[in-house]
Amino acid sequence: MSQRQVLQVFEQYQRARTQFVQAVAELSARPQNAESLRSAGTWGAVGGRGGLWGPGPQFVGNFFTDGNQEAAAPCDHLGLGVAVKNCRFYKKAAAFVLRAVGKHSPQLAQAVVQCGALESLVICLEDFDPGVKEAAAWALGYIARHNSELSQAVVDAGAVPLLVLCIQEPEIALKRIAASTLSDISKHSPELAQTVVDAGAIAHLAQMILNPDAKLKRQVLSALSQIAKHSVDLAELVVEAEIFPVVLTCLKDSDEYVKKNGATLIREIAKHTPELSQFIVNAGGVAAVIDCIGSCRGTVRLPGIMMLGYVAAHSENLSMAVIVSKGIPPLCTCLVEEQEDHIKAAAAWALGQIGRHTPEHARAVAVANVLPTLLSMYMDTHSSEDLQLKTKRALKNILQKCTYLPALEPLLQDAPPNIMKHIVGQFSKVLPHDSKARRLFVTTGGLKKVQEIKAEPGSLLQEYINTINNCFPEEIVR
Amino acid sequence: MNPAPPSPGRSPGRLRRSAHTGPGAGGGRAAPQAPAGRARKRLGPRQEGGRHHLSPSPAPRRQHRAPSSLTAPRRLPGPSPRGCRCRTRSPRGAGPSRGRPGLPAGGAGWYGPLPWRRRRRAGGGSGGSMAALARLRARLPALREECFRRNRCVDEDRKIKYKAAVKIQSWFRGCRVRAYLRHLNKMVICIQKRWRGYQSRRYFRKIVKIQKRWRGYYVRKYIHNYYALKKYLEAVSVNNEIVRNELQEYAEMNENERKKKDQEKKEKEKKYQARKMHYLLSTEQIAGIYNSPFRKSPDPMELLLRQSKPLSHRQQQVKSPFTDELYDWPTCKRPPTFHAGEPLPPIGRQKPQGPFCDTAEVLRQRYKPLEPTLRVAASIDSPLGKARAEMKREEWRNHIHDNEFLPFSSYHKNEKYDPSIHRSGKYGQETYGIKHFREVQPNKWVTGKDFQTVSPSIVLFEKFGKTYSRCGQIV
């Protein structure tokens, strides 16, 4: 009888304790209570030796998701590595705490690594419960995100093969997190990417592109693009996993970020060599990317635009392929519609790469009536430096090959001298040989404008003007 | 008078010096002021040959080695102050074949009679002044000596100088000829190179014509093949169209699926609502809200209500099984709040007739949430239990036998001792091996004699019975 009463008292105590910790955990979920909690000394009450079980780590985790960093240090000393031996709730909660601590800055992540948490996290990755694996993989991902030393530490702890195993598990959330962690690991350096590839990740990631879950696709595409971006060999390995033409379906997904990551992947592959770009063109990738650009708005377009620029930059045949796939109109609309300067700069750059190869290419670009837009952007004082530089280069490249005079004439009016030089140079090359063009030149008032240009005698511009004047009889020139 | 004659009769010192300056010219006499200790390369046989009339000792020869012409002291014209060395050095007549003896007569070492000798002869016949003649006569023997001496010197040096001169001249001629040859060579090369260039260019022009045509053809056909490029671009656009169509189909398919899913969801929602609000169904007496008498036909909701089965209460309970477990729901972003409040009491309605308990009470009892004790909530395998089980297993493994150790002798009082196998026999202890090893039974022997060995036996067995002592009782 008395024993039962005694036990009842103890049970009451335990229950009260649990309730207390639960209540504090709930309170800590709201950031406004953090200050009062800290001043009330809850940390000592809950975080002591015996208190950190059950919902305790969850409270600690909440405490840290708000970014309170002072308590990080004692947290490590609590030996969260003890997480290994406990039940799965404890492991999940402990991994949550480690993630919350490690995500804020590289120094905190370094502190987490130094307290030996990586080994226990990797052991948690081998656990049977998928929730535990997910929590551990998330924590590892956040740690590896900061810089390459931390990633190297994660890889040295032997996490990569286990993550590749996690990717093959049936739970979608676990796959997502594992893919995101692999992406974070491989983004820093080619060696890390090679480690990930050596563990056989590419085949599994390539299979998962077909999965209907949008968030999973985002992470998978991001992981593949981080792998492919480092070198030609890695890009070729990714291509050999037969992602084309499946990846093109991702460009038609309803989720914006899936499209963006898909375009990023194709861009990272296309930028290395002309052969890879050729392969992508043959697979119809250019058309898919152009459609994708047309359908998106905003930053999501940026990787697609850059991809077109890279493909066109490699050779004139590829550039012609881009033109033939009707790539110029979306780029022009991009240039005009977008508000952000960096997207406009990318579009200008891409147009420059398309138009710089031969007069045919320049003509295709000029016909789209994009040169005045470029010029106005170059002259605009509100444009950023980068935008001005890129538009100037694009203009120069296109103008040096442009022989389509109707597109050049509007530029005569307000071009600055460095651009005027090229325009007049082109006129001076074309007019001596083409009588119809000469007639048109006079009738549209181009000759008059050329006369109005002031140039220093002996400069290149003056020579061009003289050449033009020599094409016409004296009376007209005066 | 002894005018300084031209080169052969010049001062020996001068001659000597020119001999010295000839390359390897037998390095004539050393200048008297030759700097001491100047080591000079010993010249070879020429030197020997040229100088063999001198004393054979090497030391004076070294002295005779002249320094280079640059450091040799300048020689003034006229007889050297010390005179020709040959007089001090060479014993008269020691040198063979130098023409000494014949000199006065022929005077022809190599050069023929010396002019001043001729002059000398001529000068002796004048009747002018007797005193002069006497003087001259007085000087005559000395003159003769002088003449001989000078001739000898000159002749001695002559060979050396001749050889030296030959050498110099030959060397110089060689240089000249070589320079000439080099020049010729250069000219020849120049001519040949121009000629060859011209030849090859002529030939080249022919070749270039062929290469030009070939390269144009090759480039146009394979590298910048316009038609192939055109075809390729057409193929690219066709391929693009196909890809675009396929992607369009795929996008449409996705869209359709999404719409279908949405629709299904809405339908399910509607059906569920209908089941929940089944009580709104109209009856014969009372028209439900969806079946207004003023309408022509009932509302679709009414039809749905008619079709659906009423929702039973039991289904309500299995709605959320996740409240107990932490973080098991993967997409749960914020931690689940622990429900602190009680469920709402039921809306007040008439109490059912009969001896029923209070409805609220009943519901509270019925829907009381599970409140597991700590022991239950924690994992089945507590660490303490696991550790105990582990210890037990280890101990069981390490035991040799399972008999418990009983510490006091009182436990072992009534135990019978089990001897080991070696000692336990069927009827007690075996004597064989302890009391005796080998048996000997004399009453069974046939004869008193021992075995006789007929065939050679094993040596060891011979010793049986013969090596034992009297205690063994066989001997």
- For the stretch B270-316, pLDDT in tens is 999 898 888 888 888 888 888 888 888 888 888 888 888 887 766 55
Q: Answer whether A355's CB lies under 8 Å from A392's CB.
A: no
Q: Write the single-letter amino acid at B281.
A: L
How wide is the angle at C-alpha A393 spanned by C-alphas A392 and A398, nearest 5°? Answer: 100
**B-contacting residues in A 133-152 (Cβ below 8 Å):** 134-135
3-class secondary-structure state, position B432: strand
B465 vs B265, which has greater pLDDT? Answer: B265
Angle of helix A88-102 relative to helix A117-125, nearest 10 degrees, comes to 130
CA dihedral A140, A145, A147, A153 (to 10 degrees): 10
Q: For residue A79, what pLDDT band results from cuts at 50, 70 and 90?
A: very low
Could you tell me if A240 lies within 8 Å of chain B, comparing CB atoms?
Answer: no
Residue A467 near chain B (CB below 8 Å): no
Q: How many CA atoms lie within 13 A of A142 on its CB side?
A: 22
* B222, B236, B242, B381, best to mutate vs chain A, most A CBs in 10 Å: B236
Helix axes A117-125, A106-114, angle to 10 degrees: 80
Residues in A touching B241 (Cβ below 8 Å): 287
**Residue in A13, A15, A89 to test binding to B, most B beta-carbons within 10 Å:** A89
Q: Which of residues 213-232 of A touch B (CB under 8 A)?
A: none
| Cβ-nearest to A325 among B237, B373, B383 | B237
Instruction: Tell me the two tokens of residue A142.
Output: 């956040």
pTM of the model as a whole: 0.59
Q: How many CB pairs under 8 A join A and B?
A: 89
Q: Cβ–Cβ of A25/B258 closer than 8 Å?
A: no
The answer to whether A29 contacts B334, with C-beta atoms less than 8 Å apart, is yes
Among A16-20, A435-439, B271-275, B459-463, where is mean pLDDT lowest?
Answer: B459-463
Q: Which residue of B has its CA nearest to A279?
A: B236
Nearest C-alpha in A relative to B243? A284
Specify the range with the lowest mean pLDDT, choosing from A142-151, A269-278, B69-78. B69-78
- The token pair at B407 is 């510490």
Residue A35 DSSP symbol: H
- Residue B247 and residue A291: Cβ atoms within 8 Å? yes
Residue A170 touches chain B, beta carbons under 8 Å: no
Instruction: Note whether B236 contacts A282, CB cutoff 8 Å.
Output: yes
The answer on pLDDT for B443 being more than 60 is: yes
3-state class (DSSP) for residue A460:
helix
Q: Is A20 on the interface with B (CB under 8 A)?
A: no
Q: Which of A104, A103, A144, A105 has its CA nearest to residue A122?
A: A144
What contacts B10, CB < 8 A, 6 or more positions away? B4, B77
Check: complex ipTM more than 0.90: no
Which two three-digit tokens encode residue B75?
């020689």
A204-218, B70-84, B274-288 — which is least confidently predicted? B70-84
Min Cα–Cα distance to chain B from A276, Å: 15
Q: What is the pLDDT of residue B37?
A: 45
Return the pLDDT at A288.
Answer: 95
A27 touches chain B (CB under 8 A): no
Q: Residue A367 corresponds to which tokens in the numbers above?
A: 């016909």
Q: Which residue of A has its CA nearest to B233?
A: A321
Q: Is B134 helix (H, G, I), strand (E, B) or coil?
A: helix
